[in-house]
Chains A and B, each alone.
Chain A
Amino acid sequence: MYRIKIDRSRCIGCLTCVTACVVSHETESTDARNRVVIDSETRPAPIFCRHCERPECVYTCMTGAMKKNPQTGYVEYDKEQCASCYMCIMSCPYGILKYDSIRNVEIMKCNMCVHRTEDGSANPMCVEKCPMQAITLEEVRES
């Protein structure tokens, strides 16, 4: 599968990736599905969904709306099936999830921008727009 590699040393905290994420999903929501935060030493840290091998958000989802795709390895979210119970927000260990800020119903979950390709492969707009190549799409192996 593919994951977005994060090189913190290259990140300058410009938030271009956050804007890119909003733009990529602008027909659905006004929020980003990623974030860049600043640690106690004021160093920026891009916090992006890891599409975990053992995804806590999936284990906790009581409706089946959050699922790990066995083929691609991506953790997919189905807003029609979602009950807006917010259990996944509580369960993501890295504090990546939130609900949309207007209606409070849809979970802002990274989809690897698969909607941008015909064949459902990843095409992250955040990676494409990062001026520093601090985030890159890499193939990784899951056990």
Chain B
Amino acid sequence: MKYVVLGSSAAGVNGVRELRRLDADSEIVLISKDKEIYSRCILHQYLGGKRTMERLCFAEKDFETLYGITWFKERSCTHLKPEEKEVVLENGETVSYDKLLIATGSHTFVPPVKNLKEAKNVVGFRNIEDMEVLKDAAKHAKHIIVMGAGLVGLDCASGFLELGVKVTLVEMAGWLLSKQLDKRAAEAYQDAFAGRGVKQYYGVGIAEVTLDEENRITEAVLTDGTRLPCDFVVVTAGVRSNVEFLEGTGIELSRFGLVYDETGKTSDDNIYGAGDVSGSSPIWPVAVKEGIVAASNMAGVPRKMTDFFASKSTMNFLGIPSMSLGDVNLEGEDIEVEVKKTKDSYKKILHKNGKIVGAVLQGDLAYGGILQQLIARKIDVRRVKKPIFDIDYSDFFHMKENFEYYFEEE
């Protein structure tokens, strides 16, 4: 058996680990555009000079030898021949496989803003190469605009603050992290960023950018007509999956990305997929688990992805901790909202017919993990005779023979 894995990030690395765990002898070839293994989620610390390249690595230092793999670094896959069971690399090389794992993730989406595509001083916030461009921009640019105040946009703004650079945030939604936070929790961050000199515009987008003769942005025009001086734009307004190399192969794609079932299998029996490449749940834990599940099935050990709860995130911008689960802005007659505020914390839990549907915790996240389970498993919490904010595992306590805990399926 010969396994080929495309992509050396969350999904690919964990796929390799699982393949080797289950299959000690087979050949494993890893192919990636990336030349090193690094975590995209902490790139802002690299930008801010708080973390070296070495400490961006989330895998073992001797990954290749430890797992006995061949790794083609800095090699992009440009085409696939499912009939021949071969991947084609950009330099024309071909690599054959018996089972293939596609974990090529996604890339920055540049929205159709007038002149933006032509502009030179624009970059995304996704790859280590972007950080090198931004480190340079930090030295020269006076007016950096970050397009989008979501998790990635705020990572970017925080990284720049470490360098003493105050960016401007422009966000279409009414407040930052509008998918994750309610207005009140968002305001804590907005105030903190404002206090550090970060200008913010909400409820408006960038309508167009003005370019000079060399296609360099000199100004941004917002949808309400406001004109902002601008000499650099960072685009953090969404991603698109890396599936270009699959076009014309007949492998099923959706509007969002690669299509695969709960075992990770695509429309081709020998090809599996995992992670952001699906375009559906672009978060780290999903990429890791899908990588493990797909690899397990590739190695002949059946396993299914059961965790479909992906609207969850935590953040720690400017030292303010928050956790967001489910839908935190739901409204409706049967939605009950409970709020608990203290001097240092704000907690809100939304529930419907005894089931928690959303929660936001800010300032105090201690032991918050239980809430994710209650939401994901749709557990009725009415039998717990305690304030909803005090629910813990004691009322669900169950131990297996090997003393692991578990939840009784409702």
Q: Which residues of A contact B (CB under 8 A)?
A: 3-6, 8, 35, 37-40, 43-45, 47, 50, 52-53, 56, 59-64, 81, 83-87, 89-99, 104, 138, 140-142
Contact = CB atoms under 8 A, between A and B. Distances in A.
Interface of B: 10, 14, 39, 41-42, 45, 51, 55, 57-59, 284-285, 288-289, 292, 312-316, 319, 321, 323, 325, 365-373, 383-386, 392-395, 397, 399, 402-405, 407
A86 B365 contact: yes
14 contacts: A50-B405, A53-B404, A56-B369, A62-B39, A64-B39, A86-B365, A87-B284, A89-B369, A90-B312, A90-B313, A91-B285, A91-B372, A93-B373, A97-B367
- What 5 pairs between A and B have smallest CB-CB spacing? A95-B370, A98-B366, A45-B394, A64-B58, A39-B394
Nearest to A143: B402
A85 B316 contact: yes
Contact of B395 (A40, A85, A90): A40
Nearest to A108: B366
B383 A40 contact: yes
Most buried by A among B45, B57, B384, B397: B397
Contacts of B315: 85-86
Nearest to B391: A95
Contacts of B313: 90
B404 A63 contact: no
A47 B393 contact: yes
A52 B400 CA distance: 11
A36 to B, nearest CB: 9
A62 B284 contact: yes
B392 A37 contact: yes
B284 A98 contact: no
B306 to A, nearest CB: 11
A115 B385 CA distance: 39
A83 B325 contact: no
Contacts of B370: 93-95
A83 B38 CA distance: 13
Given A38-B394, A53-B404, A94 B58 contact: no
Contacts of A83: 41-42, 45, 51
Nearest to B397: A45
Contact of A89 (B59, B314, B403): B314
A118 B104 CA distance: 43
Given A38-B394, A39-B394, A50-B403, A93 B367 contact: no
B394 A98 contact: no
Contact of A90 (B58, B289, B368, B399): B368
Contact of B58 (A3, A5, A63, A95): A63
A134 to B, nearest CB: 13
Contact of B368 (A5, A62, A63, A89): A89
B393 A85 contact: no
Given A4-B403, A56-B285, 18 more contacts: A3-B403, A35-B367, A37-B394, A39-B394, A44-B394, A45-B392, A45-B393, A45-B394, A56-B369, A59-B292, A62-B39, A62-B58, A91-B369, A93-B405, A95-B369, A95-B393, A96-B369, A98-B367
Contact of B393 (A3, A94, A98): A94
A59 B289 contact: yes
A3 B403 CA distance: 7
A81 B369 contact: no
A95 B403 contact: no
Nearest to B58: A64
Contacts of A91: 285, 369, 372
A141 B285 CA distance: 26
B285 A59 contact: yes
Contact of B392 (A3, A52, A86, A95): A95
Contacts of B372: 90-91, 93
Nearest to B285: A60
Contacts of A89: 314, 323, 365-369
Contacts of B14: 59
Nearest to B399: A6
A60 B393 contact: no
A69 B38 CA distance: 21
Nearest to B377: A93
